[in-house]
Amino acid sequence: MPGPLLRVEGLTVRFGGLVAVNDVHFTVDEGELLGIIGPNGAGKTTMFNAVAGAVRPTSGSIRIGDELVSGKPPERVARLGIARTFQSVRLFKAMTVRENVTLSASTVCPSMAAAHARADEVAELLGMTALRRIRVEELPLADQKKVEIARALALRPRLLLLDEMMSGLNQAETRDLIGVIKALNGDGLTTIVIEHVLRVIMELSHRVLVLDHGVRIAEGPPREVMRDPRVVEAYLGRSAAQNLGEPA
Amino acid sequence: MNAVTRRLRSTGGLGIVVLVLVASLPLWFIQTNFVLSVATLSLIFMAASLGWNVISGFGGQISFGHSIFFGLGAYTTAILQVHYHLNAYLGMLLGVVVAVVLAVLLGAVTLRLRGIYFSLATFALTLVFAILTGHYEGFTGGEVGLTLPLLGDAPGEFSFENKVTFYWIAMVLAALAFVATWLVLRSRLGLQLRAIQADQEAAQASGVLAFQVKLTGLAISAVPAALAGSVYMQYVGFIDPDSAFGATLATQIAVIAFVGGAGKLWGPVVGAVILVPLQQLLNSSLSAYPAGFNLVVYALVVLVILWIEPRGIMSMRMRRRRPRPPAGGAPPQVPDLEPAAAVPTSREAG
């Protein structure tokens, strides 16, 4: 039995006097889909940024496989196989879909021809072949989010980090994107999802990690975590039980 | 694939037409020495600005110090020729080497700065070079400048009696610079530079080694500028700190590209064809007016062009051609996308 794919130990991120993430431990197994929830300011995105190399941890370690990730710059982390999307879509707006995806492929492929082939392969996987020549700024938000996923996939990641993918999407688009994420995970792609919409987390995650004020307060299967009184109090408020059925 | 080949063919075809036209100019249009010198200078500055376009136009790292590489090209050839009697072509080559080495050294420091801070650093550096060349008189001739020995007609020493030869040399230089930037734009480096310009964090998250890519871009971009400097040196036969490293040249190389369209393949070409002749004309025609009046007019023209279209002349042309949904009963789903998709691709490159 091999060890976990991602191992985060004692991760602390401090901004001046503010402790955004405080001594967090967790692991993610190969093929798993981990959901991370927590109220605003709980440190979810900061932790994400630390894993992706965009924020330097104050202390603690992050490993993918045997490889130490913490302390490395984001471009090195990306090349080690950790790909991410951004909370607010950050595509290369004036470029076409194909150029956006080819860009990230070009950082791991030996030639531009190979990068183009990789981009087309990913576009086909996500059903975006018809959109290849369109500039991304002309696409609707839901498609832009898919391009962000495509751009991340072109890196052939071992771990995919998805930050608040569902914000700004309607019901049908959310459903569609959940399908995409499930399918990718079903093909064996290890994924971490940060999400505000609880239904999404409940539906997607094998396991849920709850952060509050930068501290891990609970972890476990989605349904158990949702009933955990600490979670209910910290994240959902006291009358949360009734609200569980509604979209948050 | 189809659009790519079409784009290549159109750029290549247009390039050949322009080249033939420009090469034949001395036969039917350039009939006076003044026009010939204006045309030659236009092509020289066009080459320098094409180089600028690589790091600043594609990569978004706006340099106001490409005069450093122009000046290094000019001074290296001149110093080697005057003090060491080195062959002019060898001097030219060494000028490029010196410029590229300096580009890497200066870039290692300045490219860690973002946005306006990089621009300011490059501008400050070129002024430092102007002061240094003024200071080390024994070597550089100081503020007085360096004058090349008059060699008459000596093609082996880059010296030609017939000034039309310089025109054609400048044309070849500009054409090579154009082809080089075109190849960069189509390459992995070009794509990664454009991604850095659009969003450096996102590019890095996609695995782009941003610093190395920018450093490579700056080094490549120094080559045409240095060559332009050494051709300028051979053509004019004289250089001083201000015409090599001064604020005027430093900004001019950038302004040519901005007016034509920074980041557009044809931007520096269009910009140089308009601005250099304008500047030369104003210099000679408005000299009777109070000093500096020609510069005021020049600045006004630049402002008006950039006020009409901040992205430069190349974007004006494209904007008029922007998507007009196909008229009448076109099928409703896809057709909207096709023209919209075709325009931006050619806009990026064209």
- A105 and A68 inside one domain: no
Instruction: Give the range among B40-49, B92-101, B276-285 with minimum mean pLDDT.
Output: B276-285
Among A73, A91, A92, the residue with its CB nearest the CB of B194 is A92
A16 pLDDT above the threshold of 50? yes
Label residue B5 by pLDDT band (50, 70, 90): low
Residue in this structure with the two tokens 């996939």, named with its chain if needed: A153
Tell me if chain B has a CB within 8 Å of the CB of A79.
yes
How does pLDDT run across A157-180, given as a tens digit for each residue?
Answer: 999 999 999 989 999 999 999 999
Tell me if chain B has a CB within 8 Å of the CB of A155.
yes
Label residue A195 by pLDDT band (50, 70, 90): confident
Among B3, B210, B344, the residue with its CB nearest the CB of A94 is B344
Label residue B9 by pLDDT band (50, 70, 90): low
pLDDT at A243: 55
State which of A136, A156, A176 marks the end of a domain: A156
Q: Give the span between the Cα atoms of B315 and B202, in whole angstroms.
A: 26
Among A91, A102, A152, the residue with its CB nearest the CB of B191 is A102
Tell me if chain A has a CB within 8 Å of the CB of B340.
yes
Look up residue A71 and give its amino acid. G
Among A90, A99, A154, the residue with its CB nearest the CB of B202 is A90
pLDDT at B231: 97
- A75 and A189 inside one domain: yes
| Residue among A210, A216, A215, A204 nearest A231 (CA) | A210
Question: How many domains does one find in chain B?
Answer: 1
Average of per-residue pLDDT across B60-70: 97
Mean pLDDT score of chain B, rounded to an integer? Answer: 87
CA B218 to each of CA B53, B57, B225, B244: distance values in angstroms, whole numbers, following the listed order: 10, 11, 11, 19
Helix (H, G, I), strand (E, B) or coil at A136: helix
pLDDT at B182: 95
Is residue B327 domain-resident?
no
Strand-pairing partners, residue A11, are A24
pLDDT at B17: 85
How does pLDDT run across A69-100, given as a tens digit for each residue?
Answer: 999 999 999 999 999 999 899 999 999 999 99
Instruction: Give the range among B13-27, B106-120, B323-337 with minimum mean pLDDT.
Output: B323-337
- A142 and A183 inside one domain: no
Inter-chain CB proximity A133 and B204 less than 8 Å: no
Contacts of B335 in chain A (CB under 8 A): none
pLDDT at B341: 38
- A241 and A178 inside one domain: yes
Inter-chain CB proximity A90 and B199 less than 8 Å: yes
Range of the structural domain that residue B35 is part of: 2-321+334-349
pLDDT at B321: 54
Helix (H, G, I), strand (E, B) or coil at A111: coil
Strands A67-68 and B146-147: unpaired
| A184 in Cβ contact with A153 (< 8 Å) | yes
> Of B33 and B221, which is predicted with more confidence?
B221
Label residue B4 by pLDDT band (50, 70, 90): low
| B113 in Cβ contact with B61 (< 8 Å) | no
pLDDT at B29: 79
- A208 and A123 inside one domain: no
Is residue B177 domain-resident?
yes
A213 pLDDT above the threshold of 60? yes
B108 Cβ partners below 8 Å, 6+ apart? B215
B146 pLDDT above the threshold of 50? yes
A194 pLDDT above the threshold of 70? yes
CA A166 to each of CA A87, A207, A231, A243, B197: distance values in angstroms, whole numbers, following the listed order: 9, 19, 22, 19, 27
- A224 and A133 inside one domain: no
A51 pLDDT above the threshold of 60? yes
Label residue B8 by pLDDT band (50, 70, 90): low
Q: Give the span between the Cα atoms of B40 and B168, in whole angstroms.
A: 8
Is residue B345 domain-resident?
yes
Q: What share of chain B in percent tops pLDDT 90? A: 70
The C-alpha angle A133, A137, A141, rounded to 5 degrees, equals 105
Contacts of A52 in chain B (CB under 8 A): 205
| A151 in Cβ contact with A169 (< 8 Å) | no
d(CA B256, nearest CA chain A) in Å = 23
Residue in this structure with the two tokens 């200071």, named with its chain if needed: B135
Q: Tokens standing for B275?
A: 């601005």
State which of A156, A188, A205 marks the end of a domain: A156
How does pLDDT run across B230-285, given as a tens digit for each residue?
Answer: 999 999 999 999 999 999 999 999 999 999 999 999 999 999 999 999 999 998 88
d(CA B330, nearest CA chain A) in Å = 18
Mean pLDDT score of chain A, rounded to an integer? Answer: 91
Chain A and chain B share a number of CB contacts under 8 A equal to 88
Which of A82, A98, A106, A156 has the most B C-beta neighbours within 10 Å, making it the best mutation to test the interface with B? Answer: A106
Contacts of B195 in chain A (CB under 8 A): 92, 95, 103
How does pLDDT run across A108-122, given as a tens digit for each residue?
Answer: 999 999 999 999 999
- A164 and A248 inside one domain: yes
Please state the φ and ψ torsions of residue B115, each to the nearest 5 degrees: 55, -130
Is residue B328 domain-resident?
no
- A163 and A230 inside one domain: yes
- A32 and A15 inside one domain: yes
Is residue B326 domain-resident?
no
- A75 and A169 inside one domain: yes
Tell me if chain B has a CB within 8 Å of the CB of A24.
no
Q: Give the span between the Cα atoms of B34 and A98, in whole angstroms.
A: 48
Q: Tokens standing for A210?
A: 């709850």
Domain holding A221: CATH number? Answer: 3.40.50.300
Question: How many domains does one find in chain A?
Answer: 2
Domain holding B155: CATH number? Answer: 1.10.3470
Average of per-residue pLDDT across B122-136: 96
Q: Tokens standing for A166?
A: 């569902």
B162 pLDDT above the threshold of 80? yes
pLDDT at B339: 38
- A100 and A177 inside one domain: no
Contacts of A78 in chain B (CB under 8 A): 204-207
- A5 and A60 inside one domain: yes
B24 pLDDT above the threshold of 90? no
State which of A116, A140, A156 marks the end of a domain: A156
pLDDT at B327: 45
Q: What is the ipTM of this complex?
A: 0.91
Contacts of B58 in chain A (CB under 8 A): none
pLDDT at B157: 86
Is residue B286 domain-resident?
yes
Q: Give the span between the Cα atoms of A39 and A205, in whole angstroms.
A: 18
Label residue B58 by pLDDT band (50, 70, 90): very high
Contacts of A145 in chain B (CB under 8 A): none
B248 Cβ partners below 8 Å, 6+ apart? B242
Range of the structural domain that residue A181 is part of: 1-81+157-248
Is residue B276 domain-resident?
yes
